[in-house]
Structure 1
């Protein structure tokens, strides 16, 4: 399951949802005919499939009307729910594009072949995305490295090999 966003509020009185996008290009995934709705920690196979009746971008969020969500109370009940789709349901990416979900867990090595850790997640900033690199299960934030996801730093992403090569020193 690839998480695309999170329901942050109801929109209007008819049951529309305001969905904060996590995924890049929310205009493209807003066109998907079916989404899955679930809660954090819930097994993906238990996420409920819902048909998207209408979805559009509005003030930085996706406003969506979903089948079976009628009225403001029904929309408010979904506050905090995650919106996702199975990976196979997403459109293919261009050669130099990646879904965040495909990057998480990849090993990160520098030009000296030193292992810096694994991609733990990504952070969206105004300027560029940032890779969170560290050891899975280690909660020491000081041990985590933040690497800008830009061509000058990220030299190669090889998803099939499970590796990201970066121009970044281990002691930075």
Structure 2
């Protein structure tokens, strides 16, 4: 049976990144990983982290979809040079800024660090991260070796038990 646990309030969630300038008036192209992608603007203030790892809090971004990116404006960012200085900056928010998941749902970040075992009790290590292939999501279990397990319920992922800190999978240890 799936159980819930409160999110780790110290965790931050990577929601997107600044990919460059759009035009010459300080508009910013953003790659968003929220669904829908323009939902990124709902979760402010943001934590902006540059390539050196320096973080600062930022609020007031506004934007709209444009092709495969979002086009945004930031208060105080007025020209293309200012935008180019932000290129590659990651956009994060505290885990606590996200709404609680619906019953039976969870955020990927909440799975990170949980032990992964199969039905026979073979320990595959811990959830390192998840990623999407387009066809399905994939859980990456890191232990004595890395395993990529399709996150397909109930076929391969049998249960997620936050209280026990375990994801149970139907997966051959030799695969």
Q: CA deviation at 1:118?
A: 1.0
Aligned to 1:9: 20
Matches within 5 A, 1:81-100: 81-100=89-108
Assess if the C-alpha contact under 8 Å between 2:32 and 2:40 holds in 1.
no
Aligned with 1:29: secondary structure? helix
Instruction: Please give the TM-score of this superposition, normalised by the length of structure 1.
Output: 0.83
1:162 to 157, 161, 165: 165
Matches within 5 A, 1:17-36: 17-36=28-47
Output one character per residue of 1:98-135: Cα deviation in whole Å (capped at 9) or x when no partner: 22221221111111121111111122211111111113
User: Any gaps of 5 or more consecutive residues in structure 2?
Assistant: 1-11
Rg bigger for which structure? 2
Aligned to 1:53: 61
Count how many residue pairs are aligned between Structure 1 and Structure 2. 163
Bigger relative contact order, structure 1 or 2 (CA pairs below 8 A, ≥6 apart): 2
Instruction: Please give the TM-score of this superposition, normalised by the length of structure 2.
Output: 0.82
Assess if the C-alpha contact under 8 Å between 1:111 and 1:166 holds in 2.
yes
Q: CA deviation at 1:40?
A: 5.2
Shift in CA distance, 26/144, structure 1 to aligned 2, threshold 3 Å: same
Aligned with 2:19: secondary structure? strand
Q: How far, CA to CA, are the matches of 2:159 and 2:35 in structure 1?
A: 20
Matches within 5 A, 1:7-156: 7-39=18-50, 42=53, 47-135=55-143, 143-151=145-153, 152-156=155-159
Bigger mean CA deviation after superposition, 70-79 or 23-32: 23-32
